[in-house]
Amino acid sequence: MDHREKYLKESLFTVSHKLRLNRILGIIGNLDVDEEGRFADFGCSSGYILNLASQMPKHKKWSFFGFDYSEESLHRGEEMFPEIDFNEMDLSVLDDRYEESFDFVTCFETLEHVEDYRTAFRNLYRKTKPGGKILISVPNETFLQGLIKNIGRYLRGDRYLDRKMTNTWKKKVSYVSCLITNKNIERFRKGVSGGYGHLGFDYRNLERFVDKNYLRKNKILLLSKESVFLGFYKIYLFRKGTD
């Protein structure tokens, strides 16, 4: 699905996406930035959010870059927003291009779809200039929020667990049990059907990885962390160190 459909479609199930987008744009709009800079969105889809950011007066002299794994999305973006520089990139593989190239790096609702979100974060860090900022949003699929989301998917006719867990009903029961008891759900990412997604993504493991490998080593500084829409989404703003 083109990301913009989640923001433009009028539906009860798109309310949370719109609220998240409004908060993201609010953060971007309130940041102090230089007159000129380079803005890159990874997992940009067709560039809908990039285009909105580029329309802000503060970014009048900025350059915008979009990176995504889907060639179809990139082609669509090139047609709609020719002023944005679109490029193909697989975040699950370390990529040496654009090292320390961007003043502001964003990645929204993408890390959960990458096979190795740890490598994906390394890529985001490496693409950011020293002193640059990184803004990330990920879904909260754990505990009560995860349980509510899966009930919501079922009610709208999306048999998500059935599609992703094609083996036994016992595994599905085990997954629901982990949600109810607030246990780590990442082990369920193994053997999923149809590619990686929200199933088994545990934002707490991402936080532990970033804390151990970046925050404690002073490679980045956490400027802000917040929850959106009853904790359904997590948003992080980092600043890369200058050493």
Q: How far apart, in Å, are the Cα atoms of 130 and each of 36, 52, 102?
A: 16, 25, 9
Closest C-alpha to 61, from 103, 105, 27, 100 = 103
Average model confidence (pLDDT) across the chain: 93
pLDDT bracket for residue 65 (50, 70, 90) = very high
As annotated, the residues of the chain forming the CATH 3.40.50.150 domain(s) are: 3-140+202-240
Minimum mean pLDDT among 125-134, 156-165, 171-180: which range?
Answer: 156-165
> At which residue do the structure tokens 């369920």 appear?
188
Residues of the chain above pLDDT 90, percent: 79
CATH class (in words) of the domain with range 3-140+202-240: alpha beta
Question: What is the average pLDDT across 165-184?
Answer: 89
Residues of the chain above pLDDT 70, percent: 94
Question: What is the average pLDDT across 129-137?
Answer: 98
DSSP string spanning 56-91?
Answer: SGGGTT-EEEEEES-HHHHHHHHHH-TTSEEEE--T
Question: β-strands 85-88, 220-228: how paired?
Answer: unpaired
